[in-house]
Each structure stands twice: as C-alpha cells, then as structure tokens.
Amino acid sequence: MFFLLLFAFGCKQTETPSLTEEKPKVKGPFFGIIPTDQPQLLAPELLASPVTEYNGTFSPDGTEFYYSTSPPGKTYITFTELQADSTWSEPQIASFSGTYTDYDPFFSLDGNRIYFSSQRPEGELENSGVWYVQRENTGWSEPIYVELMGAEKDEYYTSLSKNGNLYFNIWSDGRMFRGIPTDSVYQVEPLPQIINEGSNKGDPFISPDEDYLIFRGYDDTLGRGDLYISFNIEGNWTKPENLGEPINSETHEMCPWVSPDGKLFIFASGRISSPLQTSPLESIKKVHERYRTFDNGQLNLYYMSADFIAEMKQKHLQ
C-alpha cells in the first residue's frame, strides 16, 4: 500500500500555506478539534509538510497521535503527544521506528499496544509483516512479530475489534482478511466475497463491535482511489457503498480510522486547494516554491464527524 504514495494527485481545498509562517499552537486532547460535516485538514500547523502524511491514529484518551510519514526512500512512524501545558510536542520518529520502513500504526482499544506494518526482517520474511509494541513503564517495548497463519507474508494496515480479531490486507493478493486469535497465533481467513470482489481492496478499518468495515478500493471510483463501507446486519455483510463526496474526491483517498467513541473520522487524501497556474517563459522558481508547501498533491490527514456512518446504516435497517 505504501508505494502508492509515490503518485501525485490534485483537487481542491483552502489556502496554500507558507512553510515560513509562524504556526499557532495546537491544544487539548484530540488536538482540540470539533468534528464537522465537511473534511478539514487535521492540525496542519503541526502535522502537514511537503512530504506524505497518512494513516493517523489517536490513543483512546486523545493524548497521543501516531501516523506515517513517507519521504522518498523510506517511511517512518511519527508521533506527537500532549504536554503538561496542553500543547502538543513537535512530531518526531517513534522510538520503535527509523531503522526500517515502518507504516500503518494502530492503537489497541485499551491504548497499551500499537500494531504496525514493517519491512523489518523476521525469519524468511521479505515483504511487509505485522508487528506490535507493548506499553511499558519506560516507554514502548521492542517490536514483537505477529504470526498470521495462512497469510502470504505481505500484510498491511491492521485494525482490531473488541474480541481481538485482527483485520488486514495482503497487498500482493489484493484482498482483505481477518485473523482470529488462538493461544499464540492468528488463524487467517479471507473476508466474504461480497467485500473482496473487484480489485485491490485494502486499508480495512473494523469497528470495535464488527458491525461495519471501512476500506480503500479502486472500483467505480470518483478518482484514483476511494473509501467504501459495508455493514454487518444480522451476520450478513452488505454490498460495499462508496462514501461519496465530500469524503472521496477526484484524487486519492485511503487509510480510514474512527475514534473508539464513534465520533471522529480521520482519513488521508491527496486533494489540493488549487492547481498551479503557469505561463510560457515564466520562471521555474514559481513551480519550485509551490511544491515546497504541504498543499502539493501528496497525501495529507483530514478529519470530520463520523455521523455519516449511522446515517448510512439506517437505510439498511428500515
């Protein structure tokens, strides 16, 4: 999934910021944001940069935020945390990242683990695998490999339900899977055909109660890639529905996440405020300056209210 980030995209948003502008302080749990019905950039004064940011996840209490940062050549898991004065720390590479290509962090529901995907070596593992770190008194533990029995050792993007089921996608397979925990490993099974049919499904976010699934797909999209939702109604999954505008756009959307209380929705998008307008014989410096901003077509993190989920589900209950 991470190599898709090499693409550049275009759409619409707000003003193009300058990297030299003084940044205001972000304050309070969950960055102090109030979810709205329209996507908004997530703490751009703290998170946004000219490189790619995606796959954001808050700790359950909203005092830690981990996400993926992807400059050319390597991807890092990056984090910021709430400080004593209610401001947030300057983002830095996580204690368990930086040596290998790491991405897709996801907090467990109790906040004591972070699951993530990584290309760090494990036995004969050559592609991406799933790992986790455990919270300890002094910080995070060393990464621990997650054994997914029956998977193809090319796993990305995990999420967890209350009962410990682990959802993920296998990039080389183009499908999404569920890992059911046993004593020491997960037994893996593909998600139902109604969800996996089509091409290249991934980035599965499962709700804590496993009553809905939001994921990334490329069939009948508004742009490069869109987000879709399927509901589990009395044990049967509904046909996936495109989330539509304003969430999806003519560019690329991916990496959905919903807060444990079901109120906040975060996703990544490549939309930009306005295409660069140039003329013949104009200085190329204008192009250079334009793409030094975060609003340059790379993925950024967005947030909005998650109320649309209940609204979409209601029509299946009538």
- 51 near 71, Cβ under 8 Å? yes
Structure confidence at residue 79 (pLDDT): 98
> CA-CA distances (angstroms) from residue 260 to 124, 127, 146, 280, 288?
35, 30, 23, 52, 41
Residue 107, number of CB atoms within 10 A of its CB: 22
Structure confidence at residue 145 (pLDDT): 93
Q: Where are the alpha helices (DSSP H) in the chain?
A: 44-47, 193-196, 285-290, 307-317
Structure confidence at residue 22 (pLDDT): 56
Structure confidence at residue 157 (pLDDT): 95
Q: How far apart are CA 130 and CA 257, in angstroms?
A: 18
- The SS3 call for residue 265 is strand
Question: What H or E segment, with its residue span, contains residue 233?
Answer: strand 226-233
Structure confidence at residue 217 (pLDDT): 94
Structure confidence at residue 18 (pLDDT): 47
Q: How far apart are CA 78 and CA 97, in angstroms?
A: 8
Structure confidence at residue 5 (pLDDT): 39
**Residue 19: phi, psi to the nearest 5?**
-75, -15
Structure confidence at residue 289 (pLDDT): 83
Give me the amino acid identity at 73: G
List residues bridging with 134 in a β-sheet: 113
> CA-CA distances (angstroms) from residue 269 to 27, 106, 159?
24, 18, 19
Q: How far apart are CA 115 and CA 99, in angstroms?
A: 17
> CA-CA distances (angstroms) from residue 13 to 30, 260, 300?
22, 28, 11
**Given CA atoms 115, 120, 122, 125 in this order, what sign does their dihedral have?**
positive
Q: How far apart are CA 120 and CA 117, in angstroms?
A: 9
Q: How far apart are CA 225 and CA 174, in angstroms?
A: 14
Number of residues written out for the chain: 318
> Which residues does the chain have with pLDDT short of 70?
1-24, 123-126
Query: Is the pTM here over 0.85, yes or no?
Result: yes
